Amino acid sequence: MRFLLVEDNHDLGGAVQTRLSLDGHGVDWARSLEEAEDHLATATYDLILLDIMLPDGDGRDFLAAHRRAKRDTPVIVMTARSAVSDRVALLDTGADDYVTKPFDFAELEARVRAVLRRRGGAAQTDVAYADLTFDPLAASVTVGGEARELRNRELRLFEILVAAPDRIFSKGQLCDRLFSAAEAVSDNAIEVYVGRLRKKLEGSQARIETVRGVGYRLTAP
C-alpha cells in the first residue's frame, strides 16, 4: 500500500518511513502541509499519517479541509496532545484514529492495520479466494491450508491482487501502490515481484495472469 507521511521532525519522520517501508509499504514523506498538498495532487494514497504542529500550519486545519473536499482517504493523526478533549476533537474533525507521541512502532503498525481493515469494510479478518487464504493481521498466506512464506513486498503485492480478484492492474498502478515517489523503480521491478509471487503460489487453483499490454490480475477457473 502507499502512504503519505506528513511530519516535519527529521528523526521521527525517518524512523516511521523506514519502519513502514520495511513492512512493504511505499511511503512518501512530506515535511510541510504545502508538500502534502503537492503529493495529494499527483498521487492516490491508501492512508495519511498526519502530524499536528507543522512549519506552515496546523494539521487540524489540513484535516478539516481534507474532509470538506470529500476526500475519504483514512487519516491517523500523530499528536503529542493527550487530553481526552483533544483526542475527541480530532475524531470529530475527521480523523480515523490517532496515536499519542511518543509511541511504540508496534502500536502504530497495529493502528494502521485496524484503520485499513475498517475502511475496507472487512467484517472478518481473513480474505479467501479460490484455495487461497490471507490473514492481514498475521500477515500470512495459505494455499489449500498450506502456509506459504511471502516477503514484505511480495505480501503487499498479493494483498493488492487478492483484494480485487479479476481486476487488471497496470504496472504503473502497482508501482504507485508498492513504492514511494522517492524510490527509483522501473516496470521491470514489478515483473520481478510478480515472478517471485507466482513461484510462492505454485500449486494453487488461482493464478496471476498477464494481460498482454495491459497488466496483471489474480484469477481462478
Q: What distance in Å separates the CA atoms of residue 195 and residue 124, rounded to the nearest whole number?
A: 29
Whether pLDDT at 180 is above 50: yes
Q: Which of 119, 146, 174 is the last residue of a domain?
A: 119
Are both 70 and 105 inside the same structural domain? Answer: yes
Q: What distance in Å separates the CA atoms of residue 51 and residue 59, rounded to the nearest whole number?
A: 6
Are both 6 and 115 inside the same structural domain? Answer: yes
Are both 51 and 98 inside the same structural domain? Answer: yes
Q: Which of 59, 91, 119 is the last residue of a domain?
A: 119
Are both 15 and 44 inside the same structural domain? Answer: yes
Are both 176 and 155 inside the same structural domain? Answer: yes
pLDDT of residue 120: 63
Are both 151 and 73 inside the same structural domain? Answer: no
The string of pLDDT tens digits covering residues 41-97 is 988 899 999 999 999 999 999 999 999 998 889 999 998 887 888 888 999 999 999
The string of pLDDT tens digits covering residues 94-145 is 999 999 998 888 889 888 988 887 776 544 467 899 999 988 767 789 999 9
Q: Mean pLDDT of all residues in the chain?
A: 89
pLDDT of residue 139: 76
Q: What CATH number corresponds to the domain at position 34?
A: 3.40.50.2300
**Domain assignment of residue 112, given as a range:** 2-119
Q: What CATH number corresponds to the domain at position 167?
A: 1.10.10.10
Question: Whole-model pTM?
Answer: 0.65
Q: What distance in Å separates the CA atoms of residue 7 and residue 67, rounded to the nearest whole number?
A: 19
Q: How many CB atoms lie within 10 A of CB 157?
A: 25
